[in-house]
Amino acid sequence: MAASLDDDFESNNQDYYSLLNVRKEATLEELKASYRRLCMLYHPDKHRNPELKSQAQQLFNEVRQAYEVLSDDHSRAIYDLFGKKGLEVEGWEVVERKRTPAEIREEYERLQREREERRLQQRTNPKGTISVGVDATDLFDRYDEDFEELPGGGFPHIEINKMHISQSIEAPLTNSDTAVLSGSLSTHNGNGGGNINMTVRRVTSAKGWGEVEFGAGDILGPLIGLKVFRNITPRCFMTAQCGLQFSPRGLRPTCSLMTARHLDQNTMGYLQWRWGPNSAMTTSLVRDTKSSHFTLSLQLGVAHSYMMMSYQYKFQDEDQTKVKGSVKTGWFGTVVEYGAERRISRHSVLSATVSIGVPQGVTLKIKLARANQTYLFPVHLTDQLLPSAVFYATAGPLLVYVAVHRLIIIPYSQAQKKQELELQKKSSATDIAKKKQEAESTVVLMQESVRRIIEAEESKMGLIILNAWYGKFVSDTSQKQEKAKVIDVTVPLQCLVKDSKLILTESSKGGLPGFYDPCVGEEKSLKLLYQFRGVMHQVISADNEPLRIPKQSHRLESAP
């Protein structure tokens, strides 16, 4: 998460170090010296022209803001990690100031999560699931004598035998109270039912919350439930739940208690006790790392006892590909599952799982998750363990995915990227035009100061910047092509000359006052032609290379 945020900030933030022309390791004294010099240079009171005064005020405010951030150790540490936008995240004012960079990064991610949660609370945050069960057993379990008596009996009979639809919405009532309304409808072989639930959750403290649930349905009757969550220690938490179901057979009380503990940084242990119609005791061990996910679970119960083990491997690719496998055995039989999951677009994840069980048979499960909506398609292929069913359940989805990926997904993604690139180019062109206008206004503000600096340098045969160009220099010698991607920065650099010296830090030169980036995303350099003590000098410096002039090595050989 942090890495992607850093990339986004890097492309949108102004470089405070470059603006003040100081090193990233600059001391407070160096910051003060640069700040005072720039304040004297750009102070709005030095201009009577209203337009120039307004431009000077804007630049003066930018310099002051840069100094205020970099002169404060806490703000500077945040800026160094996350840039200017990192400082805009709410909550830093209550964070302990003496923190290491790792602690600041962790705190920033926490504040980001809280901000995202607040954004979600401002919406209804709908979540839904649609499941469509398909019975395709006639593909493999056909009885030819039955089909001979039916018209069109040569074709296997495939039908939808069950469906399930559920939906929920959230409504924040106060800062600590949230109401959740949910409902579901189910049907199986012509018989079905539905229910509706209303839940009110209250966050009692940073360590816990509680919720009350009210429900009603056309089969089981009304429901009243209570659930409580509590952090016992920083590494351990507990959830307790109880409920009363009013059914035609009378009251059906239920109760469950679950405790969990962090065994190490990536491993969690769970212990759950459940009492009611399906009483059971379950213990689980879950280990989740960057590259894998492992689960081991054991349940002992009145109705169902089983042992389950699953493993998932996470590929470190941009599509977040995962392969998984699991085995589950108990009183109901044995089930082996294997499958894969992959992100097919920015908001969509597609997965396919093959389930092979005794006595369940072979089932192919297709799942599509898009944003907060989930679509499930379990396709039951056969009640028996047929190699042909297993083969087609495995190879079929792979072939379909490859065909759809190449014929639909890739062209669609390429079209989207092309459209985003065009929008980015338009946005970049607008941003460059704005930066260019600001740089030109800054150069106008510098004219009077530059004139005084040049007079002082000429009187002592000091440093005079004759020509300075910044941008991308092409190999073609055509002057038109060369000037197309470079800008004249003679005035801004002369303005930075002090005591016949010009010192530029390793920060990008594009952030210096009077500069702008004429070719975003491309490699740039700085080319100077200057005079010192009546002798011509020339130097070419990379964008992020520190530069100090004058230097004897820059001297041009005298003509014969």
**Range name among 44-48, 64-68, 247-251, 477-481 with the lowest pLDDT average:** 477-481
Sequence-separated (6 or more) residues with CB below 8 Å from residue 155: none
What is the pairing mode between strands 463-471 and 486-488? antiparallel
Q: Which of 339, 294, 346, 295 is nearest to 320 (CA)?
A: 346
CB 177 within 8 A of CB 209: no
Supply the pLDDT for residue 25.
83
225 φ, ψ (degrees, to nearest 5): -140, 155
Task: State how far the Cα of 60 lies from the Cα of 82, in Å rounded to an integer.
Answer: 24
For 271-281, write each residue's pLDDT tens digit. 999 998 889 99
Select the more confidently predicted residue: 122 or 69.
69
For 317-354, write each residue's pLDDT tens digit. 888 899 999 999 998 889 999 999 998 887 889 999 99
> For residue 111, is pLDDT > 60?
yes
Supply the pLDDT for residue 312.
96
Select the more confidently predicted residue: 62 or 115.
62
Q: Give me 231's structure tokens.
A: 């952090």
Supply the pLDDT for residue 399.
92
Supply the pLDDT for residue 9.
39
Q: Which of 306, 251, 316 is nearest to 277 (CA)?
A: 251
pTM: 0.60
Q: Which of 91, 116, 119, 117 is nearest to 104 (CA)?
A: 91
> For residue 425, is pLDDT > 90?
no
Residue 123: band (very low, low, confident or very high) from pLDDT cuts 50, 70, 90: low
Sequence-separated (6 or more) residues with CB below 8 Å from residue 262: 235, 236, 268
Select the more confidently predicted residue: 199 or 481.
199
Residue 12: band (very low, low, confident or very high) from pLDDT cuts 50, 70, 90: very low
Task: State how far the Cα of 19 lies from the Cα of 59, in Å rounded to an integer.
Answer: 10
> For residue 219, is pLDDT > 80?
no
